[in-house]
Amino acid sequence: MASILVVDDEAQIRDLLKHMLTASGHQVLLAENGNEGCRLYRQHQPDLLITDLVMPEQNGIDMILELKKAFPAMRVVAISGGGGITGSFDYLPIAKLVGARHILKKPFGMQDLKAAVEDVLATD
């Protein structure tokens, strides 16, 4: 069992991930933007951060960069449907550059998420 922080501005995605991860036996914390995600990560220091990239307040890339300074060994899985201001920019490769172990393009299958989570939790 691991503690996992899920950050996404879409309530539907947060609920879906919470349901799926809880069913796998994990403890799940939810945040709806990067600011809240930063605050909860610092407070609880979960085993894994799963984050959306395009969000109001603070985006996922900025949140990862900020947290990496304090927690260099942080484990991250990034999820995104692309988008952003132009609607076509793909942030996932940038997430990988800033330290996300896995990147998943929405919509992804639950098996893909499960595999990514298990893999990232199995590594130091």
- Chain residues in the site for Mg ion (CB under 5 A): 9, 52, 54-55
Distances in Å between the alpha carbon of 46 and those of 53, 71, 121? 19, 11, 11
Would you mind telling me the total number of residues written for the chain in this entry?
Answer: 124
Of residues 84 and 121, the one with the C-beta less far from Mg ion? 84
The nearest distance, CB 25 to Mg ion, in angstroms, is 27
Of residues 72 and 87, the one with the C-beta less far from Mg ion? 87
The nearest distance, CB 79 to Mg ion, in angstroms, is 9
Of residues 36 and 52, the one with the C-beta less far from Mg ion? 52
Of residues 54 and 74, the one with the C-beta less far from Mg ion? 54
Distances in Å between the alpha carbon of 86 and those of 7, 26, 43, 65, 103? 22, 36, 34, 22, 20
Please report, as a single letter, which amino acid is at residue 121: L
Place of tokens 């600011």: 35
The nearest distance, CB 49 to Mg ion, in angstroms, is 15
Enter the DSSP assignment of 73.
T
The nearest distance, CB 85 to Mg ion, in angstroms, is 12
